[in-house]
Amino acid sequence: MHTAHTWWDKLRQAYEAELGYVFLISGNISDLFPLNETFLTLKEFVATQLSGREIVVFWDKAAGFTFGDEIIKSLQEPSTGRPRPSIMREKFKSLITGDAAPSSSSTSSSSLLASLGGLGNATDLPTDPERSFQLLEKLISTGKLTEKKAALILEYAESILSENDYVSVPSVTLQRWASLDSPLRGTGNPVILIERNPERVSSAVKHDDSNVVGIHIPRPNRDEHQKFLRWATKAHVVKFGSGLNAPMVANLMAGLRCKDFDDFCLVAKTTRKELDERFIWQKKMELIEKQSGGVLRVVRPKHGFESIGGLEYIKEALRVQVAKLRTGSKTTDKGWILMGPPGTGKTIIAEALAKESGVNFLMLGNIFSKFVGDSERNMRLAMDIAAAMAPTILFVDEAAEAIGSGEEYAGDSGVGNRVRGMLQNVMGDDANRGKLFFILATNYPNRLPPAILREGRMDKRVPLLVPDRETRKKILEALCTKYQIDAASLDFSFALDQSDNWTGAQLEAVLLRAKQFAEETPTQKLTTEILKNAVEDYIPSRDEAAFLKMSQLAIEFTNSRRLLPPQVRPQP
């Protein structure tokens, strides 16, 4: 085995140290991987890396047996429509029948294969797991460590080892192969499982005593993207749009697979267009939402802190986090919880932070799916994508509802706790500090799981309350900047007098209504009188008791005196 990637290097090192005999590869399976001067699929990559072995077998339930030299020949030679002779296939048949050489395999091979499946053609090999595994065990239990005779790659592990499968022939066989008494011990023949949906693979080969070595393939980083960009644009003869270069496109590609950009190139080549920023962003947003099962949504914030009126003490604290995020500082907070009534600026603060910092901004949506295993899969993919896009801000709106309280309900089968556990592990991982910054927004912090609230996951719990008169004025001025209204020509006195206990969202609604009223006049200019008419027209609707309760909870759950609003901050 030769070093080509960090993940492949980990597999090689574990193999050489004899840490296990069975390896389970997961993660970014469906991608293209660099080798020498080209990029290959995972199957082609593994076949090439193991080509020095006498027999390399790939097996799955649909295609059955495929041999490494067949895969490599398909790369090296153009398709002729005729089957290519496989030396590995003939050696395999010779081995399982006990013949000395491939040339004498015909008669005895026919006998054994017929006994295993009653096959009409002696050149066929079985595809069903039970009979196939009988042949495969004979292969991988043969040879010595120094010979490096064979390797077995089992694709689509979830189809062979379905969830909760502990007793089928493949499951028991693989458990035995991975055990301390494995028939693979001393043979030097590795078995590699490739899983595309880990949540649907039996835990029989994943528990602590199984001795299966897990290998996770991450999504490509920016350096890997740049290497692929150079290869892909040359291979497909496409160009970047005006103002774009490889490093810029590599930044745009953060979170995506190399294969995704390969598809972009094919589209550009077919339509004879350049790859411009708008096209890449549009496709990126579509793909990340699709690949994460709708859990993630990419957002490009348009406004920074200038769009936030008041809250200077919060903006200043966030500027500190901005500077640290840009450098990946290990003293960056892992995340903040923004608490308070609706309309007090939780979402706009999160978006403004992303705009100011210039880092990627992802919104984490509904993490639960009605399909078995999909909730865990979607969360795993979402966190893999977020890590590949780092530094990244992840925003969870209505967090108490999105994440849940941690209490199970009938029919949940533990899915909620497993998904929350995955999210909490990412939040609490010190390795993600300075890379991932979580912002949770909630009206009811008391409904969040206690594990989310504790320090070490979310460092700050910040209350956002109904603004006072001075802050309301600053909000109106900031909104005028946002909507290109001349604030200097307006007198806000009446609006401020009438808007006691209004939120920033309600002030924005009134200002937009005033702008609409102005557009109905001949001059289309917003005046103080028109603003007054809009204030008088507006009827605020809210549950005062609920607002008061949310404000009280926000103050009660805060863990920073510096981040309390001045009007409720304890005086020394």
- In tens, the pLDDT along 469-512 reads 999 999 999 999 989 999 999 999 999 999 998 999 999 999 99
Encoded tokens for 441: 């927004």
* Range of weakest confidence among 38-42, 57-61, 288-292, 418-422: 418-422
Please determine, for residue 561, whether its predicted confidence score (pLDDT) is greater than 50.
Answer: yes
Please determine, for residue 313, whether its predicted confidence score (pLDDT) is greater than 80.
Answer: yes
- Helix, strand, coil shares of the chain, percent, nearest 5, are 50, 15, 40
CA-CA distances (angstroms) from residue 170 to 112, 156, 166, 174, 421?
20, 13, 9, 6, 30
Q: How far apart are CA 157 and CA 61, in angstroms?
A: 10
pLDDT of residue 78: 59
Domain 469-500+503-537 has CATH 1.10.8: yes
Please determine, for residue 248, whether its predicted confidence score (pLDDT) is greater than 80.
Answer: yes
pLDDT category of residue 162 using cuts at 50, 70 and 90: confident
133 burial via Cβ count (<10 Å: 0-12, 13-18, 19+)? buried
Please determine, for residue 394, whether its predicted confidence score (pLDDT) is greater than 60.
Answer: yes
Q: Where are the alpha helices (DSSP H) in 436-543?
A: 450-453, 469-482, 493-498, 504-519, 528-537
Q: How many CB atoms lie within 10 A of CB 4?
A: 17
Q: How far apart are CA 490 and CA 531, in angstroms?
A: 8
Classify the C-alpha dihedral 150-151-152-153 as positive or negative.
negative
Please determine, for residue 307, whether its predicted confidence score (pLDDT) is greater than 90.
Answer: no
Residue 391: asked if its preceding bond is cis (omega within 30°), the reply is yes
pLDDT category of residue 119 using cuts at 50, 70 and 90: very low
Strands 436-442 and 460-463: unpaired
Q: Which 3 state secondary structure label does DSSP give 2?
A: coil
pLDDT of residue 146: 82
Report residue 189 CA to chain centroid gap.
33
Q: Report whether 317 contacts 562 (CB < 8 A).
A: yes
pLDDT of residue 542: 78
Instruction: Check if 6-217 and 469-500+503-537 are the same fold.
Output: no
68 burial via Cβ count (<10 Å: 0-12, 13-18, 19+)? buried
Q: Report whether 428 contacts 457 (CB < 8 A).
A: yes
| DSSP assignment of 447-467 | GS-HHHHSTTT--EEEE----
pLDDT of residue 81: 54
Please determine, for residue 79, whether its predicted confidence score (pLDDT) is greater than 70.
Answer: no
Please determine, for residue 254, whether its predicted confidence score (pLDDT) is greater than 90.
Answer: yes
Q: What is the dihedral of CA 254, 255, 261, 262, to 10 degrees?
A: 130
Angle, helix 129-140 to helix 87-97, in steps of 10 degrees: 90
Q: How far apart are CA 481 and CA 470, in angstroms?
A: 17
Q: How far apart are CA 256 and CA 272, in angstroms?
A: 23
Give percent of the chain with pLDDT exceeding 70. 89
Please determine, for residue 258, whether its predicted confidence score (pLDDT) is greater than 80.
Answer: yes
DSSP 8-state symbol, 84: P
Domain ranges of the chain: 6-217, 222-291, 305-463, 469-500+503-537
The set of residues, in sequence order, having a beta carbon less than 8 Å from that of 5 and lying 6+ positions away, is 33, 34, 217
Q: How far apart are CA 48 and CA 441, in angstroms?
A: 49
Please determine, for residue 34, whether its predicted confidence score (pLDDT) is greater than 60.
Answer: yes
Q: How far apart are CA 190 and CA 208, in angstroms?
A: 19
Task: Provide mean pLDDT across the span 140-144.
Answer: 90
Task: Give residue-wise pLDDT tens across range 415-430.
Answer: 778 888 888 999 999 9
Please determine, for residue 570, whether its predicted confidence score (pLDDT) is greater than 90.
Answer: no
pLDDT of residue 401: 84
Q: How far apart are CA 202 and CA 205, in angstroms?
A: 7
Q: How many CB atoms lie within 10 A of CB 95?
A: 20
Q: How far apart are CA 511 and CA 532, in angstroms?
A: 10
Determine if residue 318 is left, alpha or beta; phi over 0 gives left, psi from -120 to 50 gives alpha, anything else beta.
Answer: alpha
pLDDT category of residue 406 using cuts at 50, 70 and 90: low
Q: Which 3 state secondary structure label does DSSP give 44?
A: helix
DSSP 8-state symbol, 142: S
Q: How far apart are CA 121 and CA 109, in angstroms?
A: 11
Task: Give residue-wise pLDDT tens across range 531-546.
Answer: 999 999 999 887 888 9
Q: Report whether 344 contacts 466 (CB < 8 A).
A: yes
> Can you point out the beta strands (E) in 318-446?
335-339, 360-364, 392-396, 436-442
CATH value of 6-217 in 3.40.50, 1.20.120, 3.30.1340, 3.30.1120: 3.40.50
Encoded tokens for 321: 């986090």
Higher-confidence residue: 194 or 570? 194
Mean pLDDT (the chain, rounded): 86
Q: Give 169's Cβ-side CA count (13 Å radius).
A: 10
Task: Provide mean pLDDT across the span 94-105.
Answer: 60
Strands 32-35 and 38-41: antiparallel
Q: How far apart are CA 139 and CA 92, in angstroms?
A: 7
CATH value of 222-291 in 1.10.287, 1.25.10, 1.10.8, 3.40.50: 1.10.8
Task: Provide mean pLDDT across the span 283-308.
Answer: 90
Encoded tokens for 298: 């990419």
Q: Report whether 365 contacts 375 (CB < 8 A).
A: no
Task: Provide mean pLDDT across the span 213-220.
Answer: 93
Q: What is the dihedral of CA 516, 522, 527, 532, to 10 degrees?
A: -60
CA-nearest of 325, 440, 334 to 389 is 325
pLDDT of residue 128: 84
CATH value of 305-463 in 3.40.50.300, 3.90.940.20, 2.60.40.10, 3.90.25.10: 3.40.50.300
